[in-house]
């Protein structure tokens, strides 16, 4: 495609993404479906450009105020992540001159908000919690692309064997530092045609998400509930930890998400998983299981702000009001899921949010209202399941993962044991 035509398409995609009315990945996929003639490299350039724009949106919007011509074209020039020579070929001499001037502005000279690129309602509590130095390290980490983590399905093979198979395919992987099940790959090799992947030997799963499943630590033969199972990232890890024995209920209100679990389940070789759509957290199915379950995971619906490396649109699509609504859901789901736990059983509440409001606050309220649930130190619980250096992952007894500290998505998880 002619460079200028591609830049124009990029501006069109930016206009669609900037509406912020849908997750960026679905807007990008829909755009590519409408433009079937785009090649692989062209698609990659457009997708990476809109992600770069969303990561540093405040900065790019500010810089785009100068110059002339359509705003979205200026944003496309500023955030462009395709080849440099290709971009030059699309630009008029005046545009080239403008871009060179803007790119010469020293980043240090910009106001703080144009450097961290977070909305104030998010930046303020994070800066208060972490202090200046760490806040800036977090802001930098959130604007970097996440590595690709895999979880090895230990029902099928050992981590070392998966590593060897990847190496044989020319893919460089290293064991994840904390999860004994994980491998980390730099770059984005296509995995979905690899025999290792199609045969269910590995699944894509952030190391942090693997650690949440490890904190629940389900055992052979147990009755386990994954209350908010979604597409089953954690369900699959839990089923394998149970060595394909016992009974693992995967509940969710979204049938669509549970449908996405099915092909993954088929690949995994698990036959101990029972997916079921529930109407809400007080569904009759839940009532029937009250007091009968050994371990319950509540991977609660949340703002997702721990995943900004992958979903940079969330910082612009979430709001304090949305967080307040999510808190109400989190309280209700946790209270209802807790009724399932049998005496001596374990309950884990988890989110992929960075905010205390969705994490420590919800956990503390629950603990105050449920004295029969005794806190379990995540440090000790994780060490028991071969997580190395678990102490570095824990704050006040809860698992607290941060992209800048642990190179995982941001996660929170707290475990309790119900008094016998
Ligand atoms: C954080 S996501 C789960 C991700 C999933 N556990 C994974 O590892 O891939 C939260 C899920 O909670 C579900 N959810 C929302 N309200 C719910 C409710 N009242 N009861 C059960 N699940 C609910 C959403 O549909 C969503 O799939």
**By three-state DSSP, how is residue 302 classified?**
coil
- Classify the phi-psi angles of 168: left when phi > 0, otherwise alpha if psi is within -120 to 50, otherwise beta: alpha
Please identify, by atom number, the ligand 1 atom nearest to the C-alpha of residue 280.
Answer: 19
Q: Where in the chain is the domain with CATH 3.30.70.1170?
A: 148-204
Q: Is the CB of 257 under 6 A from ligand 1?
A: yes
Q: How far is the CA of 34 from the centre of ligand 1 (A)?
A: 30
Please identify, by atom number, the ligand 1 atom nearest to the C-alpha of residue 351.
Answer: 1
In this structure, CATH architecture of domain 148-204:
2-Layer Sandwich (3.30)
**By three-state DSSP, how is residue 269 classified?**
coil
pLDDT digits 0-9 by tens, 90-116: 999 999 999 999 999 999 999 999 999
Please identify, by atom number, the ligand 1 atom nearest to the C-alpha of residue 234.
Answer: 8
Q: Is the CB of 412 under 6 A from ligand 1?
A: no
| Mean pLDDT taken over the chain | 97
- Is the pLDDT at 188 greater than 90, yes or no? no
pLDDT digits 0-9 by tens, 51-97: 999 999 999 999 999 988 999 999 999 999 999 999 999 999 999 99
Of 231, 246, 229, 236, the C-alpha closest to 267 is 236
Q: Is the CB of 402 under 6 A from ligand 1?
A: no
Q: Is the CB of 90 under 6 A from ligand 1?
A: no
pLDDT-derived band at 187 (thresholds 50, 70, 90) equals confident
Q: How far is the CA of 47 from the centre of ligand 1 (A)?
A: 27
Structural fold of domain 207-418: Rossmann fold (3.40.50)
Burial class of 74 by CB neighbour count within 10 A (0 to 12, 13 to 18, 19+): buried
Please identify, by atom number, the ligand 1 atom nearest to the C-alpha of residue 257.
Answer: 27
Q: What is the ipTM of this complex?
A: 0.99
Q: How far is the CA of 394 from the centre of ligand 1 (A)?
A: 24
Q: Across residues 203-231, what is the average pLDDT?
A: 98
pLDDT digits 0-9 by tens, 342-388: 999 999 999 999 999 999 999 999 999 999 999 999 999 999 999 99
Q: Is the CB of 138 under 6 A from ligand 1?
A: no
Q: Is the CB of 281 under 6 A from ligand 1?
A: yes
- Is the pLDDT at 219 greater than 90, yes or no? yes
Do residues 343 and 319 touch, judged by C-beta distance below 8 A? Answer: no
Q: How far is the CA of 134 from the centre of ligand 1 (A)?
A: 30
Q: How far is the CA of 275 from the centre of ligand 1 (A)?
A: 13
pLDDT digits 0-9 by tens, 10-19: 999 999 999 9
Burial class of 411 by CB neighbour count within 10 A (0 to 12, 13 to 18, 19+): buried
Q: How far is the CA of 143 from the centre of ligand 1 (A)?
A: 26
Q: Which of 234, 256, 276, 301 to mutate to test the pocket of ligand 1 (most atoms within 8 A of CB)?
A: 301
Q: Is 10 a catalytic residue?
A: no
If you take atom 2 of ligand 1, which residue's CA is the nearest one? 301
Known binding-site residue numbers for S-adenosyl-L-methionine: 252, 299
Q: Where in the chain is the domain with CATH 3.40.50.150?
A: 207-418
Q: Is the CB of 299 under 6 A from ligand 1?
A: yes
* Residue 301 confidence (pLDDT): 98
Q: What angle do CA 100, 101, 107 make, to 5 degrees?
A: 100
pLDDT digits 0-9 by tens, 327-346: 999 999 999 999 999 999 99
Residue with tokens 């030059």: 88
Do residues 230 and 263 touch, judged by C-beta distance below 8 A? Answer: no
Of 10, 228, 302, 352, catalytic: 352
Known binding-site residue numbers: 252, 299
Q: Is the CB of 277 under 6 A from ligand 1?
A: no
Q: Is the CB of 225 under 6 A from ligand 1?
A: no
CA distance 343 to 288: 16
């Amino acid at each position: 495609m002619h460079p200028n035509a591609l830049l124009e398409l990029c501006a069109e995609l930016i206009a669609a993404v900037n509406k912020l009315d849908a997750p960026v990945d679905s807007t990008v996929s829909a755009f590519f479906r409408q433009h079937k003639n785009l090649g692989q490299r062209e698609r990659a350039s457009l997708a990476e450009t809109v992600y770069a724009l969303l990561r540093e949106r405040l900065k790019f919007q500010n810089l785009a105020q100068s110059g002339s011509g359509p705003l979205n074209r200026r944003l496309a020039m500023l955030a462009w992540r395709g080849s440099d020579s290709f971009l030059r070929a699309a630009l008029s001499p005046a545009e080239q001159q403008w871009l060179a001037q803007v790119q010469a502005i020293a980043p240090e000279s910009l106001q703080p908000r144009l450097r961290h690129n977070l909305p104030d309602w998010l930046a303020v509590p994070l800066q208060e919690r972490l202090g200046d130095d760490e806040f800036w390290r977090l802001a930098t980490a959130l604007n970097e692309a996440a590595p690709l983590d895999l979880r090895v399905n230990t029902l099928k093979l050992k981590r070392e064997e998966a590593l060897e198979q990847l190496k044989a395919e020319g893919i460089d992987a290293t064991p994840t530092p904390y999860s004994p099940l994980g491998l980390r790959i730099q770059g984005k090799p296509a995995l979905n045609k690899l025999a290792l992947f199609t045969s269910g030997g590995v699944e894509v799963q952030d190391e942090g998400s693997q650690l949440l499943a490890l904190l629940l630590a389900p055992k052979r033969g147990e009755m386990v509930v994954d209350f908010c199972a979604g597409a089953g990232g954690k369900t699959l890890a839990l089923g394998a930890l149970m060595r394909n024995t016992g009974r693992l209920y995967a509940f969710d209100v979204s049938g669509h998400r549970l449908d996405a679990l099915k092909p993954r389940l088929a690949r995994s070789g698990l036959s101990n998983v029972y997916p079921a759509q529930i109407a809400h957290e007080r569904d009759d199915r839940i009532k029937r299981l009250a007091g009968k379950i050994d371990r319950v995971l509540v991977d609660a619906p949340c703002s997702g702000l721990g995943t900004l490396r992958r979903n940079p649109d969330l910082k612009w699509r979430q709001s304090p009001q949305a967080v307040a609504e999510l808190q109400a859901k989190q309280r209700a789901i946790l209270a209802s899921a807790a009724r399932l736990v049998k005496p001596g059983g374990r309950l884990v509440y988890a989110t992929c949010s960075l905010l205390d409001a969705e994490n420590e606050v919800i956990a503390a309220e629950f603990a105050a209202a449920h004295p029969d649930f005794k806190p379990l130190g995540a440090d000790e619980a994780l060490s028991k399941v071969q997580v190395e250096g678990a102490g570095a992952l824990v704050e006040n007894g809860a698992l607290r993962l941060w992209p800048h500290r642990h190179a995982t998505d941001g996660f929170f998880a707290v475990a309790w044991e119900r008094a016998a």
